[in-house]
Chain A
Amino acid sequence: EIVLTQSPGTLSLSPGERATLSCRASQRVSGSYLAWYQQKPGQAPRLLIYSASIRATGIPDRFSGSGSGTDFTLTISRLEPGDFAVYYCQQYGSSPGTFGGGTKVQIK
């Protein structure tokens, strides 16, 4: 099983700032099959990025993903009020499709 470690656990930033979230895998993620999700309180997760760097339908271009192998990054270029949430990475290149523990982006 591939273990995904997300860091930092919590990120305290102000609106307009840049957020950089990390997801590190214990083994190479096959095909860069890595997704990022956003979850707000009381809501289901929302797909942001798939295949490490492709934005899902309707996702604004301030969200970008990068990386390959074992190291992946989600960047939010300029935080807007609605971006403060918890973010999860997930690998789906091999079974089981594991999730990272999440990074909470909170208002500073």
Chain B
Amino acid sequence: EVQLVESGGGLVQPGRSLRLSCAASGFTFDDYAMHWVRQAPGKGLEWVSGISWNSGTIDYADSVKGRFTISRDNAKNSLYLQMNSLRADDTAFYYCAKVRLAALPRGALDYWGQGTLVSVSS
């Protein structure tokens, strides 16, 4: 059974940093691209960042470019999102999600974690 479990969310002051993790199990992690998608409370989905299976292709939304860094450790079956210079409008649930097809950098997202809440406030 595929499982994605996010952690690392919490309350943080504007300008500070936070690192999210996503622990994956139930599939061959290093075959698949992974993405982060966020959702502000009561709002729609916003794609944040994606990383290919071998970290060779990395993309970011313009809203986080230069502030967020996605990475993965295939030996640990883990995905990360380093978030720096956080702003109030980064407040959201952050989901990690798996791309459906192996070896492609983008695709439909067939498995999602339960999300971790990041709140940015003074």
Contacts and interface: CB of A to CB of B under 8 A. Distances in A.
Interface of A: 1, 33, 35, 37, 39, 44-47, 50-51, 56-57, 88, 90, 92-93, 95-102
Nearest to B113: A44
Contact of A95 (B106, B109, B112, B113): B106
Identify whether the interface residues of A are mostly helix, strand, loop, or mixed: loop
A44 B115 contact: yes
A35 B44 contact: no
Interface string B35-55: 101000000111100100000
Given A35-B108, A47-B100, A47-B108, A96 B47 contact: yes
Interface string B87-122: 000000001000010000011111011110000000
The 10 A-B pairs of least Cβ separation, nearest first, read A50-B108, A44-B112, A35-B108, A99-B45, A95-B59, A92-B106, A102-B44, A97-B47, A47-B110, A101-B44
